[in-house]
A and B are shown apart, each in its own frame.
Chain A
Amino acid sequence: MNDIHLIQEIERYLDGEMSAPEKEAFESLRRSDSAIDRQVTEHRLLLQQLRANGMRKDLLRRMDSIHAKAEIPVAPPALAPVVPLRSRRRTWLNLAAAASIALITSLATMAIMQNNAKRSYTSKYEDVRRVLNNIQRSQNALIRDISKNNPPLNPGTYGGTCFAISRNGFMVTNYHVIAGADSIYIQNNKGEAFKAVSIFEDVSSDLAVLRVADSNFRTPALPYSLKLQPSRLGQEVFSMGFPRDEIVYGMGYISAQTGFNGDTLAYQVSIPVNPGNSGAPLLDNSGEVIGIITGKQSSSDGIAFAVKSGHLKRLLDELPKEKFNRRDLKQKSQLGGLNRVDQAKKLEEFVYMVKVYN
């Protein structure tokens, strides 16, 4: 079927000139061939508009010939009194509205500017613990409570990350993650959850030691050790944490020897961190723990801070010797010499999500 013929057929179809069997055949062709179907639609639109234009112009012609007969009223005086009164009132209204908008805008601007100025001093540093539930959810929980009288599974209020520092359930995380906690649960990447208690907290270095409540809790031998010598600038580092319900790997480098505002307890690390990364271990290439992620600079992206591992060591020295086995962390790192994928796979088992309820 050539194009002229096709157009002819389309026109016959659109004009209803086809016999019933022809029409049926054409419609099945239309259904099977989308290109033809589109052509039909376009052609119909085109002809419709072409004819609509013809009709509109024809109407205008007919109206023009009628117009000669139409009676034209003598131009009456304009309805003067109503118009200016209304418009003057409107002018005042507009002025008043404009003035109030200007007032509100300037007040709002001032408020925002002041607020910002204040904030710029106070909130350059931000914790990266994760707020897990929102008002909506707690309201839902309340409603469920009343109607069904069975307690809902609370998803936890705050979340962070912790990692094992011994085989029998000692974990280290950030103090700000577990501050004010009623109860603490830790959960590994397989979804197994364990109740934990905070046994040691150090506000100044923002570190806390947790212990799994189950005294039979055992992990395999820790693959990493604690590196006590300070790390150098440009040292490549990586971390694993729980900014979401799945463990997330991130890598970066030590970008400064001091933390926020020259804090010598911490490193500045260029690594992507998000709420929930608090308490995540920071490891170097050879798989030694060199720090613990604590926060980030809110004003700029990619700047995170990590407490140096030396402070963790000091903390651990204060733990009761009979329960906390220091040697667990002093083994030679098993991560050295492995590629990053294998390092991450091994490390994954020893990093836990912290869920805090309060």
Chain B
Amino acid sequence: MHIERDQELLHGLAANDDKSLETIYLENFPAIARMVMQNNGSEDDAKDIFQEAMIVLYEKVQEGGFVLSSRLKTFLYSVCRRLWLKKLQSSSLSAPLFGELEETTAAEDALEAHLERDRQFKQMEEAMGKIGEPCKTILEDYYIHRQSMQDIAERFGYTNAENAKNQKYKCLMRLKKLFFAPYK
């Protein structure tokens, strides 16, 4: 059954299982590449579009509660199609219109949510870019890669973990200020 297999792959994707990611990637990329390249796109365009669609999918399953209403293939295809169409329209006025295909509302909803997430992603990237080093790496190491304060202290040459903690606290406050600045 396709649906069951798709669900399993999505569970794997949510759990950061490399095998599932690879399977989804390799099975779906060629179709997307064909679609993009048939519509004035290059190989690199195809890669960008497909990877963005994968991000949409990944963040959707990470969020939890994502129920696939169609086949995974169809979902990815329609997300990519929309993304590509949008890119064509923004780059030139004479966007070619390629053949209609079954539209999935799931793709539409996912893209809408993606737009907001993308905005926040960029905002965080910008804030992280502004806080500079060593703040950026300290925060990444501690919060994203979940390294211990002890390891971080050693790596950055702090005499003890307490000093590193103080530094991390200052970095975090700066990041917080920068990240929330547009909201205030």
Contact = CB atoms under 8 A, between A and B. Distances in A.
* A and B part of one assembly: yes
Given A70-B30, A83-B97, A62 B21 contact: yes
B37 A76 contact: yes
Contacts of A72: 30, 33, 43
Interface in B92-149: 94, 96-99, 117, 120-121, 123-125, 128, 139-140, 143-145
B38 interface: yes
A69 interface: yes
A29 interface: no
Contacts of B29: 67, 70-71
Contact of B38 (A47, A52, A76): A76
A147 B132 CA distance: 77
A75 B38 CA distance: 7
Contact of B25 (A4, A50, A66): A66
Contacts of A87: 94, 96-97
B179 A60 contact: no
B26 A49 contact: no
Contacts of B165: 4
Contact of B124 (A53, A60, A69, A70): A53
B158 interface: no
Contact of B169 (A7, A71, A78, A90): A7
Contact of A71 (B26, B62, B99): B26
Given A4-B165, A70-B26, A72-B30, A63 B124 contact: no
A211 to B, nearest CB: 69
B173 to A, nearest CB: 8
Contacts of A86: 97
A83 B117 contact: no
Contacts of B21: 59, 62-63, 66
Nearest to B165: A4
Interface residues of A, number: 36
Most buried by A among B21, B144, B179: B144
B97 A52 contact: no
B37 A75 contact: yes
B178 to A, nearest CB: 10
A42 interface: yes
A51 B140 CA distance: 8
Contacts of B51: 60, 63, 67
B74 to A, nearest CB: 19
A69 B22 CA distance: 9
B54 interface: yes
Contacts of A47: 143
A82 interface: yes
B30 A49 contact: no
A113 interface: no
B39 A78 contact: yes
Contact of A78 (B16, B40, B94, B123): B40
6 contacts: A47-B143, A50-B139, A52-B120, A53-B125, A56-B121, A82-B98
Given A52-B121, A67-B29, A69-B22, 17 more contacts: A7-B169, A7-B172, A46-B179, A49-B120, A49-B124, A52-B120, A53-B128, A55-B16, A55-B144, A59-B21, A67-B51, A70-B25, A73-B30, A76-B37, A77-B38, A79-B39, A83-B97
The 9 A-B residue pairs with the shortest CB-CB distance in the complex, in nearest-first order: A54-B144, A83-B96, A49-B124, A70-B29, A66-B25, A53-B124, A73-B34, A4-B169, A66-B22
